[in-house]
A and B are shown apart, each in its own frame.
Chain A
């Protein structure tokens, strides 16, 4: 049996930012997932949610819960990342001053996601969008 949760995240929507991560956390607690895994998914999910709000043209967060693994997919419709290796470097960010003043844009988003996931895949195409698939062992 598997279970899926989908959240839409709009660009610049800081009012609801963090809501998806909170809901994911509560759902995983109710499904009996261990606290350790929940923490990792929470951190990765929150970074993903913020990335969608700050950098993307809007996108989706999809959580799939299976018996052996959790899959967290962060998918957007643009603008795409020109140089993925550079974007994966800790401390590198394209965030503007305004966003940085809000405490975001430290350039730790993608590296944090990668560090917390057991498996991390990223693909991106300029003009089309970015897709990140993270797997967590239950």
Chain B
């Protein structure tokens, strides 16, 4: 198996081993060992739930510092569609983009541009014969990984169009290449990211979808540049007319933003990782057979709820909807069918490799031994209190039983089992104290 890299990591000094994160993890990837949380890389899907919930801010997302751009001769900032929800609508999109550029980029481009292309191309891809129904959106990388790990049978349903991020990068690089002023390797393209999962896609070429023509050189967290943006936004010169958001792509960062492109289809859009899991379970057992397109986004509200954003996700949604409404009345930005169709037909929009299952390892490769282990797990589980308190460092009693059978934990890791053992021991100690030894003088003199 290829090495799985992640952008979610632990700041050991801050981690108190408090177990809060254990149960928030949708794939059960976290254990506490030696008083510190440990993330199982093969199970982590980079959803960012643990980052959000950690009361000690010990879970972090690995992103790049703004200074990384200094390594390149010509730099481009690609901003995620979520960014326009981070500032009040009184600031125009041009104003926000100008502030990003003023951080020291040569150029700023909205990923909403790629979103418009991907969104429009969806209606062609929808008819590709290779997909079982429902077609599942590939927009959220955490959900795609969730499907690989927990719903391996649904990997064939996942749309194989590249993300707006990769499409935008490709078109930027294509244009700069054609202009001929810079070598491809001298151009630094940076994604301004709302979440950890996108940062992983940028920083881990093995897990990513793109090749050298849509190379992205770094992911910078929205929250890392937010304060600089906030001070620049009112003071820096505004470059008018640099935005290319359409009223449709404007809402891409909201749950349902992608589904809106498939008109007249039965679409279902769901946000929040636990909600997504619940619906995928229904899809997997065949219950939702009338759904034609499923859009699942790991964060509540969609990308506006990403763990690297600053503004409250509901407020951000309100700002974006407000912008979309105004844009519908005034926008002159349109993208022709012809243009999108040409890009679609060129083949550059498709991910080359299939999305493969990453099923969890079975208890044993041999079914008889697996069955035996399963029985041991059940016996152990029945002896545990069933409180799922997490004190043992596993997310629940069942998980502890599984860890014990796998040789990764002990029964007395459970505080209740330990307490019982101590009680048994003290009863025995007490009993032994009562026994008079033949050579021992009686403590109390008998008359």
Contacts and interface: CB of A to CB of B under 8 A. Distances in A.
Interface of A: 1-3, 18, 21-22, 25, 27, 29-32, 35-36, 38-39, 42-43, 45-47, 65, 67, 103, 112, 138
Nearest to B153: A39
A43 B285 contact: yes
A35 B359 contact: yes
Given A18-B285, A43-B286, A45-B285, A67 B153 contact: no
Contacts of B281: 18, 22
B109 to A, nearest CB: 40
A54 B196 CA distance: 43
B367 A32 contact: yes
Interface residues of B, number: 22
B374 A3 contact: yes
B153 A36 contact: yes
B364 interface: yes
Give the secondary structure class of B's interface: helix
B362 A30 contact: yes
B368 interface: yes
Interface in B259-300: 281-282, 284-287
29 contacts: A1-B367, A1-B368, A1-B371, A2-B371, A3-B371, A3-B374, A21-B285, A29-B360, A29-B362, A30-B360, A30-B363, A30-B370, A30-B374, A31-B362, A31-B363, A32-B364, A32-B365, A32-B367, A35-B152, A35-B357, A38-B153, A39-B153, A39-B284, A43-B285, A45-B285, A46-B286, A46-B287, A67-B368, A112-B286
Interface of B: 152-153, 281-282, 284-287, 357, 359-360, 362-365, 367-368, 370-372, 374-375
Contact of B374 (A25, A31, A38, A39): A31
Contacts of A39: 153, 284
Q: Main secondary structure on chain A at its contact with chain B? A: helix
A112 B359 CA distance: 25
B375 A3 contact: yes
A31 B152 contact: no
A30 B374 CA distance: 8
Contacts of A43: 285-286
Given A32-B363, A32-B365, A46 B285 contact: yes
B370 A42 contact: no
Contacts of B152: 35
A3 B364 CA distance: 14
Contact of B153 (A2, A18, A35): A35
Contact of A65 (B284, B286, B371): B371
A1 B363 contact: no
